[in-house]
Structures are given as C-alpha cells and as structure tokens.
Chain A
C-alpha cells in the first residue's frame, strides 16, 4: 500500500534549485532508503515530508506531497498535526537538555495525548522499550538525557519520536555519528519499528541501505535517478549512474 506519494516536487533555496521534479511513492510499513552522494538533495527531500523546510526562511517547496491522500503542501495543512504523524530522527543525536523522562514525554505533553501521570508513565515506558533503551535507563529516568552515550542518545531520540505514535518516521543519517556497535543496535531497531511505522531513512552507507531497506531511491544532483526495490537497485539497476554509484565508481 502506498503511504506517501510525492508528485513533481521542486525545492528552491533562494534562487538555486535543489530538487527537480521528484516523484516517488513510499510503501506503508516498509523501510525506504534514500541514497546518493553528498549534496544530492536526499535530506532536502526528507525534510519536505514533514515540512521541516518551513524553518529555513529562503527555502520554498513546489509540487504535491500526498500522505494518506492529503496534500501536505496545501494551505489548509496543520503543520503541528502533520509533525505529530510524521516523526523525525536527526543525524546528530539532539536530546533536549532535560531529563530522560521529560525528553520522551515532550511530544505527548505538547499534543495533549496523556490524560494522567500514570498514562504518561506508560507512554514513556513503552516508547523506551520500543527504542530498546528501557533496560539501560529505567533506574535513571530523571537524570539529564545529555549524559547518555552517543548511541543511547540516538535511541532516546527515537523513543522521543515514537512517543506520539507517528505513522511515518523520517531518519536523516541516524547512524553517521555512531560507532559500529551502536549502528547495529539502531539497524535492528529499525527492522523492529517497521511493523508499526513507515520508515524513510537517508544514509551514506550503501551497506546499511542494503541491510535495512526494502525499497531504495537513488538521488543525484537534485534528481531522482532511479527507485525500486532494494534488491533490484543493488543487483540489477537500470541506470548506468546507479550502477556506478553502487559499485563505488563515483560519489
């Protein structure tokens, strides 16, 4: 089933065009990897999906992005509700300078999801459990989140993102600041999370894309060169450029 449908998306930074005519369908409850060399626009595309580009003054987005058949670039779109549905995990772990508990309860608080303290405790616990962090931190929920290791911080950010039960989780190179062990933990987690969430991950690591994703899109110079199932892209790409990038001949 198609969860997100992007149609002819153009993105401009001031006068410079960063994305050209991107059309891409994203399958529900699967992991879609976006790969491509630095500066190719894959992160920009990712940020279109929860309208994070709104934060950048000079950035403008054209085209249609349908999520559940609703165009999020419409004037009527409520960005707060949109971002409740579409969570995001960033490249560098960015826990808030608050306690672990407050980090996870942040989303439910601002969206008024929990009715009672008890309910909130449950949300925090399930979110941390889903993020495979509960066992490590359950005794120090009221210590600052910034005191964790890099990998733990990133899992805390994932727990924060899933605390509001988003339908889609966007991940912007979530492992680039982590060591191989933490990376393996996150990848395992991604596999687990796709049962309940649709995941789109931007990554520089071809191996990671091959390991975690079912679908892959290859971006180059602001254009979507090719997309399809990960198997096909990695084993038998249609495009010469994709072939070259995957075999490491450029990029």
Chain B
C-alpha cells in the first residue's frame, strides 16, 4: 500500500516537473523573457510536490503508532493495569493481528486486535487521502503562482543546498552516535573493572567471565586479573610493526620505481597489477597466512632448529604487510608524480642524477604525502582483524618473540562477541572498551598524521 502510494507520489513529482516546464515554455512562446531556464520551473513544481509529501510521511510515521496505541489501550484504562502490563497487552494485540500469537486468546485481546486492525486501516486510507489532497493542492497553488517574473532558480538552489547539507549531517550524526554508544558502554565496563587494571593488567583471559552463573550476583573481585589489556595492546602494535617492516620498504620503493623510473608502458600495466593486491578480500589473505605462510615458517624454523608456532605473529604480520603494500606504493606514487616537473628540471639542470634528484628534491617535497600514506597503512594494520584471527591465534600471550602466537585488539573483539553474549555483562562491555581504545589510537594517529603533514607541507609556488 505504502509502496503504491510512494510510486504514485514519485509519478506525480515527474508530472509536476513536466507541467512546470510546459508552463515556462508557454510563457516563453509569448515572447516574454523568463527569469530562469524552463527546467527550473519544472524543478520548482516538483519540489512543491516532494516537500509536503515528505513532511506528511514523517509526521505520520512519528504519530500514527502512538495514537493507535493510545486508542487501543483506552479500553483498558480504569482497570488498574500497570504500564508494563499495558505494554504487554499491546504487544499481544499486535501479534494476534499479524496472526503470530501463540498464547491463549482471550476475548478482550481479540476485540483489541480487531480494533487495532480497523484503526490501522482507517489511518492508512486517511493518510492516502490527506497526502494526495495536500500535494495536489500545493502543486496547483505553485503552478498558478509561477509567472514570467517569478523566482524559481533561487528556491531550487536553496533546496539542493539543504539536501546536500542533510546528507553530510547524516554522516556526521552517525559518527557521533557510534562514538557515544562506545563511550556509554565503556563507562559501564569501567564501573566493574577498574581502569587501572585494564590499562596496566598483564593478563587477558575473558573466557573466565563465562564461568559466572547468571543467577549469581556480580562480584567485581572475581574479574581481577581477567581484563588486563597490556598483552593485546602489545600484540596489536607488535603485529602492526612487523607488517610495516614489510610494507614500508617494499611499498615505498615500488612507488618510487613506478613514479620515476618505470616507462609509461610498464607503469600502465604494473600499477593496476599492484592495486589488485588491494582488492583481495582480507579473508583470503587470512587463509593464505594460516594455511601457507604459517606452516611454511614452522617447517623452515624446525629445519633450522627453532621453535616456531604454527600460528605466529610473523606469519600474520608478514601477510598483513603484503596487504598494505599497495596502499603505500599507490599513494606514494601519486604523491611523487604530483611533485611539479619544474623541480625535477631544476635539479637535472644542476647536473644531478636521477637518484640524487629523488633523494634530495623529490622525496623531501613529497614527504608529507608519503608520511600520510604510511600512517594510513598503520591504521589499516592496527584495525586489521581477519588475518590475525586466522593466522596468529586467539591466545593473548605477552611476548615479543615473532615466532610465537599473539593476539590483537580486533581479534579479541571477535572472540568476545562470537556466540551468545549477554548485554550488560562485563565480558561484552569489554568489547566496547577495546573498540573505544582502538578508536582513540586511530584518532591519535590521524591527528599526528595531520600535524606532520601540516608542519612539513611545502609550497611549490
């Protein structure tokens, strides 16, 4: 029903566009000059159709459920029900009207369900009538109003401005919403687990929290030595460090090769090929690390007499580094290419060789962008989940031996949130606390990146 109405309104919008333009053409044919192009007259009418429709739809969506609920529950007033019980009755009514009610059907509820259905259908049909009347009225009003010297261009531009503003507002509000949900859950978590234990504790063992029987009262003391985040922070930075050790040299060198040395033909094929690396899903990297690289390293280590875990930080970090190569190479290639040719000419004209020019002129000029690309790679490494989950294990060991398994923030969030979990449980909230710390780390990285870029930014003029 709503879909048909919606389609109809869209059609109406197109029709009013058509009529608006047509009227403009008619005015034009009388040799009068219009204040705007004919399309603007069309858009103007279409907007007069869209805005009232949008307003009424939103109002309806907000108020209809409340009003219907009030009317249905009106029958139960003066009978001494509590609010919770009334809510329950209303839910039962709705379930019955959908035919999904499984409990015992009482005549009361049956009557309410019927009333509910009839109210809904009244609401629906009145919505259709009201929407259509108002739209047609407003379009007709606007249609009559437009003349050769009416202003149509400005309102249309303003409307577009508002639409674009709303879109960016939606993105910003979502971000703020996510941050706040993180903050509140994190605060709840730290009510049970002291911040000090979380930040400085060296023992991470959230599975211990499973043991608690839900009927038992929450006893914070039993969580001591359970949520110490040091091992997973250390693991996160350690694996990211290994990844960057792989990604920075290879990425940077291939970026420099592509930008400065490669002939246009090589570049034409090599760049897309490297960028394909970025298109491989991280799961694929994950099982590449877990099934190929991990066992290979283990065998290699064994043959050299080293103790290598099949799930090692080295395997995960190394493969993660490979994943990050295209980010660094592609971005630094772009940055280096955008260094003005005049600087290269200046350096060559002084008799500098290619490598001298790159080292002394181009690299310093491109440094802000290169640092930016590296920091972007670091945030990718810190936020990467799948490869770690698959290749480096889930046990949060506090170790700096790349041949042992270790775990990261993201992997622990996965561990915590897989399977059943109860909201309000410290174990679940730990995930939010971890998410929050991850968010803070990446935020700091971004701020540092911006600072660096700003400080070293060179003007080319």
Contact = CB atoms under 8 A, between A and B. Distances in A.
Contacts of B365: 96-97
A242 interface: no
A250 B353 CA distance: 41
B191 interface: no
Interface in A134-157: 144, 146-147, 157
A97 B364 CA distance: 8
A87 B458 contact: no
Contacts of B356: 110
Interface string B277-298: 0000000000000000000000
Interface string A89-120: 01010111110000000110011000000000
Given A80-B353, A107-B351, A110-B350, A94 B364 contact: no
B177 interface: no
Contact of A164 (B344, B350, B361, B460): B350
Given A52-B348, A82-B351, A94-B340, A106 B459 contact: no
Chain A interface bracket (under 10, 10 to 19, 20 to 34, 35 or more): 20 to 34
A96 B347 contact: yes
Given A96-B361, A110-B360, A83 B348 contact: yes
B342 interface: yes
Nearest to A83: B351
A32 interface: no
B263 interface: yes
Chain B interface bracket (under 10, 10 to 19, 20 to 34, 35 or more): 20 to 34
Contacts of A111: 351
Contacts of A80: 351-353
A84 B351 CA distance: 5
A95 B340 CA distance: 11
A88 B349 contact: yes
Given A57-B263, A57-B264, A146-B459, A52 B353 contact: no
Contacts of A55: 344-345, 348
A90 B458 CA distance: 20
A2 to B, nearest CB: 23
Interface in B334-390: 340, 342-353, 356, 360-361, 364-365
Contact of B458 (A79, A84, A144): A144
B351 A81 contact: yes
User: Which applies to chain B's interface (DSSP): helix, strand, loop or mixed?
Assistant: helix
Contact of A97 (B264, B350, B353, B460): B460
Interface in B417-461: 458-461
A52 B349 contact: yes
A111 B343 CA distance: 18
A230 interface: no
Most buried by B among A57, A94, A111, A160: A94
Given A96-B361, A144-B458, A146-B459, A164 B351 contact: yes
Contacts of B353: 80, 110
A88 B351 CA distance: 10
A84 B340 CA distance: 22
A57 B267 CA distance: 14
Contacts of A107: 350-351
User: Which applies to chain A's interface (DSSP): helix, strand, loop or mixed?
Assistant: helix
B350 A94 contact: no
Interface string B245-262: 000000000000000000
A83 to B, nearest CB: 4
Nearest to A108: B350
A50 interface: yes
A83 B343 contact: no
Interface in A47-62: 50, 52, 55, 57
A110 B352 contact: yes
A50 B458 CA distance: 29
A90 B342 contact: yes
Contacts of A164: 350-351
B453 to A, nearest CB: 14
A153 to B, nearest CB: 9
Nearest to B350: A107
B337 to A, nearest CB: 15
A188 to B, nearest CB: 23
Contacts of A110: 350-353, 356, 360
Interface in A158-201: 160-161, 164
Contacts of A83: 348-351
A90 B348 CA distance: 12
A110 B346 CA distance: 13
A94 B345 CA distance: 9
20 contacts: A52-B345, A82-B351, A83-B350, A87-B350, A94-B340, A94-B342, A96-B346, A96-B360, A97-B459, A106-B347, A106-B350, A106-B360, A107-B351, A110-B351, A146-B459, A147-B459, A157-B346, A160-B350, A161-B349, A164-B351
Interface of A: 50, 52, 55, 57, 79-84, 87-88, 90, 92, 94-98, 106-107, 110-111, 144, 146-147, 157, 160-161, 164
Given A55-B345, A146-B460, 16 more contacts: A80-B351, A80-B353, A82-B351, A88-B345, A90-B342, A96-B343, A97-B361, A97-B459, A97-B460, A98-B361, A106-B352, A106-B360, A110-B350, A111-B351, A146-B461, A164-B350
Interface of B: 263-264, 340, 342-353, 356, 360-361, 364-365, 458-461
In the A-B complex, the 4 residue pairs with the closest CB atoms = A97-B458, A83-B351, A88-B349, A94-B342
